[in-house]
Chains A and B, each alone.
Chain A
Amino acid sequence: MIWQLDIILCIFVVICAIAAITVKDLLAAVIILGAYSFFMCILWTEMGAVDVAFTEASVGAGVGTVLFIAAVNKTKRRSKD
């Protein structure tokens, strides 16, 4: 594993996390959360946890995002904070 790549990924992850909780458009926030999960997957693959990464990619980034989008779709898209 390459630690420089790791650090870049880490930075991306943190940026995505902060963005996800600050964006006011909930749909955008959910999509950013999907991206966050995806970066997380890569990070974990980097660390050798391939099984975890696969599961996260399918369950976390996939199913999770779908669930979120469905829920946001059924409720409100705008958030006050």
Chain B
Amino acid sequence: MLEYIISKYNFWVYIILLLIGLYAMLGKKNLVKKLIGMNIFQSAVILFYVSIGVKKGGATVPIFMGDAHAAHGHGQAIIDVASYINPLPHVLMLTAIVVSIATTGVALAVLILIFRRYKTLELDEIIKIRKDTGV
């Protein structure tokens, strides 16, 4: 059992982080907290993707080692697939990180708009103000 848990520990970590993020997004009353949760949530997904790319057994970072020009000249025979980590998830996650930070940026701008209007960032207070003023 322990073996089983340890053998997939990064998956467990990603699940825990995802749930922490999700909880903060749904359950926290402070809007900034929600955004912090959103960041955690998104980085959990990124962690999951990065974990997909991992190869055990001596694989290294996906940057070609050795003489690039020589390899370029002699074809691909020397490149061993097993010795490099799968680069595709990394590519995807570069995009995802940028997307996540862009979302955060937009969300923070909206947050400032909300603060200008309601002078508070607590969900329950905002809802109360909305109810009172009919806005």
Chain A residues at the B interface, C-beta cutoff of 8 Å = 3, 6-7, 10, 13-14, 17-18, 20-21, 26, 29-30, 33, 36-37, 40, 43-44, 47-52, 55-56, 59-60, 63-64, 67-68, 70-72, 74-76, 79-81
Inter-subunit contact A49/B115 (CB<8 Å) = no
**Pairs across A and B, CB under 8 Å, 12 listed:** A7-B9, A10-B9, A14-B16, A21-B20, A44-B50, A47-B53, A49-B93, A52-B50, A64-B39, A68-B36, A68-B108, A80-B30
Which B residues are in CB contact (< 8 Å) with A36?
A: 40, 43
Q: How many A-B Cβ pairs are below 8 Å?
A: 134
Q: Is the interface of A mostly helix, strand, loop or mixed?
A: helix
* Choice from B23, B36, B46, B100 contacting A29 with Cβ under 8 Å: B36
How far is B34's CA from A33's CA once the two chains are assembled, in angstroms?
12
Chain A nearest Cβ from B55, distance in angstroms:
8
Interface residues in chain B, defined as those with a beta carbon under 8 Å from any beta carbon in chain A:
6, 9-10, 13, 16-17, 20-21, 23-24, 28-30, 32-33, 35-37, 39-40, 43, 46-47, 50-51, 53-54, 59-63, 85, 89-90, 93-94, 97-98, 100-101, 104-105, 108, 111-112, 115, 120-122
The verdict on A48 contacting B115 (CB below 8 Å), with A21-B24, A63-B101, A68-B108 known, is no
Tell me the minimal C-beta distance from B66 to chain A in angstroms.
17
Q: In whole angstroms, what is the CA distance A14 to B51 when docked?
A: 16
The reply to whether A59 and B98 contact each other, CB–CB distance below 8 Å, is yes
What are the residues of chain A within 8 A of B9 when measuring CB–CB?
3, 6-7, 10
Most buried by A among B6, B23, B39, B122: B39
